[in-house]
Amino acid sequence: MQRSIFQNRLRRAEQELGFNFSEEVESENQDEEEPKDITGKVAGVVHSKDVRDSTKETSQYPKWSTVFDENDIFCNNEGYSFQTYFKKPILQDGDTPIVFIGHHGAGSSGLTFGELCKSVVSNTRNGYISKPGFFTFDFRGHSMTNLLNADDEGNYRMDIDTLVGDFKFIIDHFLAKFKDRYSSKIHLFIIGHSLGGSVAIKLLRDHQFDDVKGLVIVDIVEETAIHSLDAMDSYLNKLPKSFQTLEMAINWYVNQGLINNSQSAKLSIPSLLKHNQNGSWEFIVDLRKSKPYWNDWFKGISNDFVTLPNRISKLLVLANNDYLDKPLIIGQMQGKYQLMVFYSDTNLSNFLTTSTTVISDSMKIGHFIHEDVPNKFTKALLQFVERNDLSFRRNDESNSQLQLINKLNAKWNAHKK
């Protein structure tokens, strides 16, 4: 009976997104009694022209399966379910697998990392011995995770401590499953975008993960983020309440400059919307309900970031803005982290330390850097990993650690004096 309840929850979630549940599950359950939810009420399943039409429309756009291999559901001890996505690494015998773990920001979904994952796969296809994996998920209250927990008040329990606890559960559960499958060590590099970056910083501040080798924070500076919260209500009020079609939603995001890569938007934007009873598409998450927690989302993250243990390599990626608050400026001068600025023309080399890199050919980029320029972002990401993880080897490199170190020193101009 519990299985029927879970399958029905998944069925309803998929239908709200415009998908049909598999025929196998339909035939498997056809002799069972009508499923009920945990309250004992019949959990109705909608079969309508709207569902058929929405399914037809969503079929025009790429799905999670065009990028990822698996979409498991992780359920914590409280019964709250998280939708996850995993692109498996490709390994050679004896290699230590590297896996990127992405945590998206508020109002987004795990599929925001879809094009980045594809780019990582394509950019490591020929140049590297092993191919990294990529794991991400829809965080609490967002996308499929929201729909899997429909009518659960926990969808909007988005205080920073709860989000950190969720991320710890996700990583612990992923590591347990991964190590059971591969019986191998693993090196994790966490990528946190916006609020996801704040969650990642606070997680690594409070908990030790020996498997985490690096942290990449995308477009988040504490002082700027806190000031931007003042405009959050205004931004949410300007969001359309619904869209007649998914195409209109995608075009709106692109025309507003929120996402400048239409190919990425075709994958990420449909995951933010559900088909309503009026036949239009509305946002799944209502961020207004998270307002009580906004003020604590970003407090202290700059200092927490630069004071993370040195065993965790750190990279801060910004777009169109070289502004750093005081803790980040001091940390940068002390060499606590690497800074990557995706900007069109300003050269920062005289202002910051030599570990700052400026990408001079990136145009039309915004807050979603990893979506706007996934290939350029990937090149920066792979160089960061290559510099900080000797297990990540190119095809032409020897297994000798000494030779690896010499090659990396030559590449990064780190010669002995």
Q: What is the pLDDT of residues 370-409, one digit of tens each?
A: 999 999 999 999 999 999 987 776 655 544 455 555 555 5
Q: What angle do CA 134, 136, 141 make, to 5 degrees?
A: 175
Q: What angle do CA 394, 396, 397 make, to 5 degrees?
A: 70
- A 10 A CB-CB count for 147 gives 22
Q: What angle do CA 50, 17, 257 make, to 5 degrees?
A: 110
Among candidate residues 219, 264, 362, 372, the one labeled active-site is 219
- CA–CA gap between residue 207 and residue 250 (Å, rounded): 38
Rg of the chain on CA atoms, in Å:
22
Confidence class for position 48, pLDDT limits 50, 70, 90:
very low
Q: Where are the alpha helices (DSSP H) in 210-325?
A: 222-228, 232-238, 246-255, 262-268, 294-297, 301-306
pLDDT at residue 2 is higher than 50: no
CA distances from 221 to 40, 77, 170, 192 (A): 47, 33, 25, 12
Q: What angle do CA 95, 390, 136 make, to 5 degrees?
A: 70
367 as an active site residue: the answer is yes
Rounded (10°) CA dihedral 356, 360, 364, 368: -20
286 as an active site residue: the answer is no
**SS3 helix, strand, coil % of the chain, rounded to 5?**
45, 15, 40
The pTM assigned to this predicted structure is 0.82
pLDDT at residue 53 is higher than 60: no
Q: Provide the angle, in degrees to the nearest 10, between the axes of the packed helices 195-206 and 160-182.
A: 70
219 as an active site residue: the answer is yes
- CA–CA gap between residue 77 and residue 79 (Å, rounded): 5
Whether the Cβ atoms of residue 107 and residue 272 lie closer than 8 Å to each other = yes
For residue 52, what pLDDT is reported?
42
Q: What is the pLDDT of residues 306-330, one digit of tens each?
A: 999 999 999 999 987 778 999 999 9
- A 10 A CB-CB count for 61 gives 17
Q: Which residue ranges form the domains of the chain, and what is each CATH number?
A: 60-402 (3.40.50.1820)
For residue 323, what pLDDT is reported?
87
Among candidate residues 194, 264, 280, 362, the one labeled active-site is 194
Among candidate residues 143, 367, 370, 372, the one labeled active-site is 367
Which residue, among 142, 156, 150, 145, has the nearest Cα to 44 in the 3D structure?
150
